[in-house]
Chains A and B, each alone.
Chain A
Amino acid sequence: MAMLLEIRDLHIEALGEDGRWQEIVKGVSLELEPARVLGLIGESGAGKSTIGLAALGYARHGCRLARGSIRLEGEELFGATSEKLREIRGVRVCYVAQSAAAAFNPAHRLDDQVIEAAVQHGIMSPGEARAEARRLYAKLKLPDPATFGRRYPHQVSGGQLQRAMTVMAMVPRPDLIVFDEPTTALDVTTQIEVLAAIREAITDEGMAAIYITHDLALVAQMAHRIMVLRHGLEVEVGPTERILEAPREDYTRALVGVRRVQKPEKPRSGGAPLLEVRHVDAAYGAVPVLFDVSVCLEAGRTVAVVGESGSGKSTLARVITGLLPPRKGEVRLDGRPLPPSLKERAKDQLRRIQLVYQMPDVALNPRQKVEEIVGRVLTFYFGTNGAERRREVERLLEEVELPAGFADRYPAELSGGQKQRVCIARALAARPEVIICDEVTSALDVQVADAVLRLLLRLQEETGVAYLFITHDLATVKAIADDIVVMLEGRVVEQGPKSEILSPPHHPYTDLLLSSVPEMEVGWLDRVLRERAERKARGEAVMEAADR
């Protein structure tokens, strides 16, 4: 069969900080037949987005296509003139970006953007394009297809915007669509619907697709073939079933293998709780965010707070740390109520609760060395200074499995995982009893995240620190929690020991959340959708994602 896309020995370079070109894609070849889906998978820095964009003959600012060949139906895109490339882009190859919220122009209505490529390239008249857009809005199950396009991007939800972006890519009827992590920015319950909609649409319209993601379980639902990438090189490529069931390379095996971090649930001690949140209501200005939230944490245990964006889980962390005084209710530490506001708390009360943030990049002062970042805490709480402080910083770094010499580094000289370890060391420096971990692994690649989780568990064994673990990632919850608190729209819908929450019968929302987590098996998506449809047909209560 004739190939739609053939990439041969493609090298792509990026301009490094030292002003020299460095190879980020080091000779990758791939081919794609019409109406087939190829999955590109790998961690960040694997070069998958860069390769995806190269299918449109495009290199991001600061990157360049160095050598190789990119053929679309035999036509060479490498080194093609910008006029030539303009005739390809938005006509025969379209692109769906990771964050539709950022990829839509805030100044124009959705329709104007959705039909723009088709109209500008003279493929359709504005009227025809609008009709086609309406048809596709309906196909992707967007609300009010007739009027949906009149809205501005900020007037629709993230999940809807992501689907609108898919419509935008489909209106010109391209031969190939490049999906670049199209569901990564979405909640897990919304993701499943967007996935199903995208898959149905590309199958029906007979378009080929390159589906880029870091989540193997996801790509297994979408792709006929999968290519595994690492450090800009192909690891292996093959049909989806083969990659999942018989991976040839160790790296693929590691990706396919289930999470290795697994901690048995610790039995409750029955003692007095260390940290107690009692009937807390909280609001940002006039907007109420938390309603009657009660959570309880015993010493040395881990409570995982799960929920989707907007469920109020990070607000809960702000209430506990005193950054946001609650409207009602109180927070108790060791049975004694804590002053609601950070400013009123004693130094020792502050010391006992520490916080580790989601984004280690922004949580570290880029102008301070690690020694200063961690050492400040020692000076502040314990008055440690000089050589003693240095020794203590080095000890803490070793504790989080970093070389002592990292004390002299600036954050920019560390990787994402290393930065998060520094953040953990900083929290540990205060010798806290509770560490609140707010999505601490979600900005990290799977394997790095696993290592950080293992570190956290080891530290808990050694120091007896309790974790309040805030996350949207159920795999993380399964791995490390003792107790689980499920939150939805500012309320606790269910809480209890891990074993209880994770085994049926579930609260309908917990059920929706659990069943939406992609599993590493071909056909998982079909199975879940079928089961949900059957249960609905039987008249059982099935909750749907609140995609507002």
Chain B
Amino acid sequence: MHPLVKLVAQRLALGAGTLLVVSALIFAGTEILPGDVAQAILGQSATPEAVAAIREDLGLDRPAWIRYLDWLSGFLRGDLGTSLANRVPIGEMIAGRLENTLFLAGVAAAFAVPVAITLGIVAARYRETWLDKAISIVTLSAISMPEFFIGYILIFVFAVKLFWVPSIASVFPGMSFADRLYAVTLPVATLSLVVIAHMMRMTRAAIVNVMASPYIETAELKGLTRARITLRHALPNALSPIINVVVINLAYLVVGVVVVEVVFVYPGMGQLMVDAVAKRDVPVVQATGIIFAATYVLLNLTADVLAILANPRIRHAR
């Protein structure tokens, strides 16, 4: 077996193991959440008999570990369960939301990643010049402000004052791609401002670090241009830290956008999860939790594999 295949298989197994542990943690976590769904549903009319009846109806009277195994096996079969709050299958509830979240994350990534890496390369190429400093100051200022603050400022300037874009990012099924893009302009801008600085700084640092290598001196002594030295000799050797930071930020774009979704009233997974927690809708919380965890694990796995692929020593064994 090619060593790379073995490595990927190993990481996949490790990822599956991680998810199993995470599922148990999520289940345990939701078990110890204060409050009770039966009481939440019944509200004022929560007589002990009615509560018991609903608990039995929902299967909440069975021992926790049985419910866990039940839940897990359903999950593995693709059955995410039913919402306790409105009795809708969770699969249906999540499908549209997940699509929205991935759309927002995808658009933000498609914009932010190339911009960040390009800025990082430019900053490294013109290291210590005014250009480098300007890039650093702008991106670092953006990252220093909380997301909701950036979001509201953008809304104020571009939606309220200039009327360029909508302040509420409402999307609905059947909307055209262009309309969707237009709708998410401000959330994408907000997310980009938050993630660009991190990726840009790491790209710059990784390249600057490689620039001290003897083979960069070799390239300089070949009379190559600075641009070629940076792109061809430094960048390929700086890839693995860059890949890692990009992936961490991609994961953040999927998992960490709750605040931005709330600010722009965007119907994504983050909002769904927050709502579900408020309603004590435990199965929804569990399902969203597992999906977030799976995203994280999968993206990190991708980062590992890509970082390995970026290393010729592993790609081409002796």
A joins B in a complex: yes
The interface of chain A, by Cβ under 8 A from chain B, is 53, 56, 58, 60-61, 85-91, 94-95, 97, 99, 102-108, 116-117, 120-121, 151-152, 154-155
A106 with B237: CB separation less than 8 A? yes
Q: Knowing that A88-B223, A90-B221, A154-B318 are A-B contacts, what are 17 other residue pairs whose CB atoms are under 8 Å apart, sorted by A's residue number?
A: A86-B223, A97-B217, A102-B214, A103-B217, A103-B218, A105-B215, A105-B219, A105-B236, A106-B237, A107-B237, A117-B224, A120-B224, A120-B228, A152-B312, A152-B313, A154-B313, A155-B316
In the complex, which residues of chain B have a beta carbon less than 8 angstroms from the beta carbon of A106? 215, 237, 312-313
In the complex, whether B31 has a CB less than 8 A from a CB of chain A is no
Describe B's contact surface by its main secondary structure. helix
24 contacting pairs across A/B (C-beta < 8 A): A58-B220, A86-B223, A86-B224, A87-B223, A89-B222, A90-B221, A90-B222, A90-B223, A90-B224, A91-B223, A95-B221, A99-B214, A102-B213, A103-B217, A105-B215, A105-B218, A105-B233, A106-B215, A106-B312, A107-B237, A107-B312, A152-B312, A154-B312, A155-B318
User: Please, which residues of chain B bring their CB within 8 A of the CB of A108?
Assistant: 232, 236, 312
Contact call B223/A85, Cβ cutoff below 8 A: yes
Taken together as a complex, chains A and B put the C-alpha atoms of A295 and B227 apart, in Å, by: 57
Closest residue on chain B to residue A112 by CB atoms: B232
Chain B, 179-223, CB within 8 A of any chain A CB:
212-215, 217-223
A residues in contact with B213, CB < 8 Å: 102
A89 vs B219: C-alpha distance when bound (angstroms): 10
Q: Which residue of B lies closest to A154 (CB)?
A: B313
B44 within 8 A of A: no
Shortest distance in angstroms between A398's beta carbon and chain B's nearest beta carbon? 41
How far is it, in angstroms, between the C-alpha of A61 and the C-alpha of B213 when the chains are bound? 11
Q: Which of B218, B232, B312 has the most CB of A within 10 A?
A: B218
Shortest CB-to-CB span from A113 to chain B, Å, is 8
Known contacts A105-B215, A154-B313: A117-B318 contact under CB 8 Å: no
- Give the A-binding residues of B (Cβ under 8 A): 212-215, 217-225, 228, 232-233, 236-237, 312-313, 316, 318
Q: Which residues of A contact B223 (CB under 8 A)?
A: 85-91, 117, 120-121
Q: Which residue of A lies closest to B213 (CB)?
A: A102
Interchain CA distance A121-B316 in the complex, whole Å: 29
CA distance A360 to B228 in the complex (A): 39
Shortest distance from the beta carbon of B151 to any chain A beta carbon, whole Å: 40
**Residues A58 and B225 in contact in the complex (CB < 8 Å), given A104-B215, A105-B237, A155-B316:** no
Hey, which chain A residues are within 8 Å of B221, CB to CB?
Answer: 53, 56, 58, 89-90, 94-95
Q: Could you say which residues of chain B place their CB within 8 Å of the CB of A152?
A: 312-313, 316
Q: Please indicate which of the listed interface residues A102, A107, A154, A155 has the most CB atoms of chain B within 10 Å of its own CB.
A: A107
Q: Point out the residues of chain A lying under 8 angstroms from B218, CB to CB.
A: 95, 97, 103-105
Assembly CA distance A16 to B222 (angstroms) = 28
Identify the 10 closest CB pairs spanning chains A and B, nearest first.
A89-B223, A90-B222, A107-B236, A90-B223, A102-B214, A117-B222, A86-B223, A105-B215, A95-B221, A103-B218
In the bound assembly, the distance between CA atoms of A102 and B212 in angstroms comes to: 11
Q: Least Cβ distance of B92 to chain A in Å?
A: 48
In chain B, what residue has the closest Cβ to A98? B214
Inter-chain CA distance A116–B218, complex, in Å, is: 11
Please indicate the chain B residues that have their CB under 8 angstroms from the CB of A85 in the complex: 223
Minimal beta-carbon separation of B243 from chain A (angstroms): 14
Interchain CA distance A105-B233 in the complex, whole Å:
7
Residue of B with least CB distance to A150:
B316
Bound together, the chains give a CA A6 to CA B47 distance in angstroms of 103
User: Which residues of chain A are within 8 angstroms of B236 by Cβ–Cβ distance?
Assistant: 105, 107-108
Report A74 CB to chain B, min CB distance, Å. 20
A154 to B213 alpha-carbon distance, docked (Å): 16
Q: Which residues of A contact B224 (CB under 8 A)?
A: 86, 90, 116-117, 120
Q: Decide: A86 and B217 in contact? CB cutoff 8 A.
A: no
Q: Give, as a whole number of angstroms, the nearest-CB distance from A82 to chain B.
A: 8
| A83, chain B: closest CB distance, angstroms | 9
**CB-nearest residue of chain A to B313:** A154
> B220 and A89: CB pair below 8 A?
yes
Chain A residues whose C-beta falls within 8 Å of the C-beta of B318 in the assembled complex:
154-155
CB-CB under 8 A from B312, the residues of chain A are: 106-108, 152, 154
Q: Which residues of B contact A88 (CB under 8 A)?
A: 223
Interfacial chain A residues near B220, Cβ < 8 Å: 58, 89
Within the complex, the shortest CB–CB distance from A107 to chain B, in Å, comes to 4
Kindly list chain B residues whose C-beta atoms are within 8 Å of the C-beta of A155. 316, 318
Chain A residues, Cβ within 8 Å of B214 = 97, 99, 102-103
Minimum CB–CB distance for B309 against chain A, Å: 12
Q: How far is the CB of B219 from chain A (nearest CB, A)?
A: 7
Distance in Å from the Cβ of B81 to the closest Cβ of chain A? 47
Nearest-Cβ distance from residue A466 to partner chain B, whole angstroms: 40
Shortest CB–CB separation between residue B198 and chain A, in angstroms? 24
Residues of B within 8 A of A87 (CB): 223
